Chains A and B, each alone.
Chain A
Amino acid sequence: MREREIRPENWSIIFKLVMLLYVTGSVYVSESGLTNWYTAAILLYISMELFSHIMRSATLQRAGAAASILFIITLSYELNPMLALLIPVNLHRLAGPLLRHPAPILLLMMAPILLLPKELYASYGLTASISYLFLTVLSAYTDKSKAYRSTLEAMREEQYRLKKQLHESMEHRRQSEYMFKLEERNRLSQEIHDRIGHSMTGALIQMEAAKRLYATDAARSAELLQNAIHISKEGIEQIRQVLKSMKPLKEQLGINRMRLLADEFAATHEMETQLTYEGNLDRIEPLHWHIIQQNVTEALTNTVKYAEATAVSIHIQVLHTMIKASVSDNGTGASKVIKGLGMIGMEERTAAVGGKVIVDGSKGFAVTMLIPLASA
């Protein structure tokens, strides 16, 4: 948490308080001294001031300031002329926001001097100038810091937006890479599939020839037939092999891939890694596997980076209408989790298929994905 700074408005309240103390002090040491009337008047004045500071609407605030001025003027006539020293501060408050130029404000603040007895000229002039200087500097500072703050806010928003955009495009790139691979594989297997046609054709020609020679040259015919059989056998076997290695295997995306991931992780990071699952894994679609895998990888990376854990477990559970996949470690955890880009990435990937990610740092660290199943 940032430390709270004193707001400019509060500085002006402090300034007013100092002025009030000064005036009261002067009255106290003067011949008239503090009368009951004086005390009552000052308390009333303070409440009026507080009222106008508490009000939110600018009109009410201004009305409050105007009322304060009238009140102070009355008091300085009726009770003690020293109270007139409080006028400039209130004038500035009333007129400051309306008059943009400093000069007329100064004139306005000086004007009441004409109504005062001569012996107060000096102190009034002095307080008015000090008030003027202090409040002008203060309001300039307020304007500036407001402007800075709003620029800062805008920049922060912009930075967040850019970060997010960058992240999204990275995500998009990764997704399209994957899609491209899938398409490529499909295309290849298609092509090979087409070649079955060629070798079949080769065999067919041999067989046709064998058929023609069947009556006249039985030995030659048998030879051709044997050839055809050979070609077909070999061709089919070859194609089967190629098809197998080219087509994206279901297991490559599925639990076997996950097992591989876990094994690799355990081998490279000396962390006890456990993979468990329950329910019918066949109901998990390739896209879901893909997302789960990426998120698990991300979560494992986080574990290595932050958790100081010695064991991590991956659990995949197929419920009736949802898949639940979680990665949890026995590390330090965190009472309040602050999301980084990795976490936002997980959330976005999961949200793309209507899922949620929950992160819990109360017992070690646990990332849980809940993904709705399409065919429920």
Chain B
Amino acid sequence: MNVLQLKKLTKKYGEFAAVDQLTLAVQEGEIFGLLGANGAGKSTTINMIASLIPITKGEIELLGKNIAKNGKFAKSNIGIVPQELAIYEDMTAYENVRFFAGLYGLRGPELKRRAEEALAFTGLSDKHRSYPRDFSGGMKRRLNIACAIAHRPKLIIMDEPTVGIDPHSRNYILNSVRKLNEMGSTIIYTSHYMEEVEELCTRIAILDHGKVIAEGTKAQLKSIITDQKEIRIDVRSATGLDTRKLSEIAGVRTVTVNDEQNSVSISTDAEVNILNRIIQGLMAADIEIRSVEESQPSLETVFLTLTGRSLRDS
């Protein structure tokens, strides 16, 4: 089922289209990555989903309901972790979470319980009565997340939640994204860090100039560029290697032996994993392996190839 569906969503400022007929569907249970350089339209899209800015044209459907006509429904089913910290420094951590969960529509004892749960979830239970002004950057980020998830939304949108924080907090956040997902929330995740998206997201859309230029699983996106991967094996001596044996392994396309550098380069189908069999083949031929290096296009390469720009230079 589609949790979120954007239909020809457009945002214009004057004649300039910041988001240009964007069509996208996010299915239940996904961690959906939105990749794009600054100005690609990610935040504008998120702000429209959050009803923070008006839509110029198009529709947004949350669980099959148009959010323009079901404001309250949308509010109670979406949790937004904004890029800029949205917490009050002069309220305690607990008061912050209570306040935001209240805005999302929670009341009474349920509000209290859920706020405590959210703090526990983000590892801030012991900071219950502390003020965010004394927090580290990472703790502030975690509190920011707690504020957005206390009302247990079906859809959680995280806009660059790991910008400028220490590795410990970063790992904590990445793990909590996974946990939230396992607990049944669908997640939309944007980040500048390609590795994070690659590690975390089940499906990814690449945005550029307000349009989705490619969409799919990691494997699908990579296969846009190529359908093979290269394996380079450095050996002590490649003499006496029978390349035919290696070529016969299903999935191997070409085998090239470089005698001078004592290395074997093998290109294989991208989707198969036959490294074991290749190594077995080499061992059977009594060839001593020094190192193995497997290279496959990264998402960064995909992004660079399609847009002509690197994700971080704009």
Contact = CB atoms under 8 A, between A and B. Distances in A.
Interface of A: 1, 317, 319-322, 324, 326, 328, 336-339, 356, 358-360, 362, 366, 368, 370, 376
B16 A356 contact: no
Contacts of B309: 360, 362
B224 interface: yes
B214 interface: yes
B198 to A, nearest CB: 19
Contact of A320 (B211, B225, B307): B225
Contact of A358 (B15, B307, B314): B307
A320 B269 CA distance: 12
A319 B226 CA distance: 6
22 contacts: A317-B305, A319-B224, A319-B305, A320-B225, A320-B226, A321-B223, A321-B224, A326-B308, A328-B308, A336-B16, A337-B209, A338-B15, A339-B15, A339-B17, A356-B211, A358-B208, A358-B209, A358-B307, A360-B208, A366-B308, A368-B307, A376-B223
Interface of B: 14-17, 208-209, 211-214, 223-227, 305-309, 314
A320 B16 contact: no
Contacts, number: 50
- Most B CB contacts (10 A, CB to CB) among A317, A324, A366 go to A324
Contacts of A321: 223-224
Contacts of A338: 15-16
A321 B306 CA distance: 12
A360 B212 CA distance: 14
Contacts of A358: 208-209, 211, 213, 307
Q: Which 3 A-B pairs have the closest CB atoms?
A: A336-B16, A338-B15, A358-B209
Given A320-B226, A338-B16, 9 more contacts: A317-B305, A319-B226, A320-B223, A320-B224, A339-B17, A356-B212, A358-B208, A358-B211, A370-B213
B306 A324 contact: yes
Contacts of B306: 322, 324, 370
Contacts of A319: 224-226, 305
Contact of A359 (B14, B209, B212): B209
User: DSSP majority for the B interface?
Assistant: mixed
Contacts of B17: 339
Contact of B209 (A1, A320, A324, A360): A360
A359 B308 CA distance: 11
Contacts of A320: 223-227
B214 A370 contact: yes
Nearest to A357: B211
A345 to B, nearest CB: 15
A322 B224 contact: yes
B127 to A, nearest CB: 37
Given A1-B14, A338-B16, A360 B224 contact: no
A322 B225 CA distance: 8
A339 B223 CA distance: 31
A137 to B, nearest CB: 31
A42 B1 CA distance: 57
A350 B17 CA distance: 18
Nearest to A334: B16
A362 B225 contact: no
B40 to A, nearest CB: 10
A59 B15 CA distance: 36
Contacts of A336: 16
B219 to A, nearest CB: 12
A109 B308 CA distance: 69
B186 to A, nearest CB: 25
A343 to B, nearest CB: 11
A92 to B, nearest CB: 31
A322 B212 CA distance: 14
Contacts of B213: 356, 358, 370
A324 B304 CA distance: 12
B8 to A, nearest CB: 12
A322 B309 CA distance: 17
A21 B225 CA distance: 72
A326 B223 CA distance: 20
B16 A337 contact: yes
Nearest to B226: A320
A272 to B, nearest CB: 19
A247 B211 CA distance: 39
Contact of A368 (B16, B214, B225, B308): B308
Contacts of A360: 208-209, 307-309
Contacts of B307: 358, 360, 368
A369 to B, nearest CB: 10
A324 B214 contact: no
Given A1-B14, A362-B314, A324 B305 contact: yes
B78 to A, nearest CB: 22
A290 B212 CA distance: 24
Contacts of A339: 15, 17
B239 to A, nearest CB: 34
A334 B214 CA distance: 24
